[in-house]
Amino acid sequence: MLLFLMPNYLGIDYGTKRIGLAWADELLISLPAGAIPGVDREGCWEALTGEVATRSITDFVVGYPVHMDGEIGRRAQEGDIFITRLEER
């Protein structure tokens, strides 16, 4: 018997004060999943790990703030660091 892993997505809106979360299943219906206070970075990773385990997350979608002219600013650079750390985990 073949078993297929159905995708579950975790949307992440990275911020310095909090990290917003939303999740979606294979139907791609997005639902809010709360926010993680962003001040305690180690606690942030523990909370994200808990969300991944609880919802069987298979894929991430991370918001990427780019200026209207397409320029990458400080927030996007901070997001790049966050994405790199997420990939490492």
Q: What is the pLDDT of residue 32?
A: 94
Residue 47, domain member (yes or no): yes
69 occurs within a structural domain: yes
Please count the structural domains in the chain: 1
On whether residue 2 sits in a domain, the answer given is no
- Overall average pLDDT of the 8-29 stretch: 89
In a domain, 26, yes or no: no
pLDDT in tens, 26-76: 788 899 999 998 767 778 888 999 999 999 899 999 999 999 999 999 989
The whole-model pTM stands at 0.82
The answer to whether 30 touches 8, Cβ cutoff 8 Å, is no
pLDDT category at 4 given cuts 50, 70, 90 is low
Under the phi-then-psi rule, with left for phi > 0, alpha for psi from -120 to 50, and beta for the rest, what region is 84?
A: alpha
Q: What residue numbers bound the domain in which 66 lies? A: 9-18+35-88
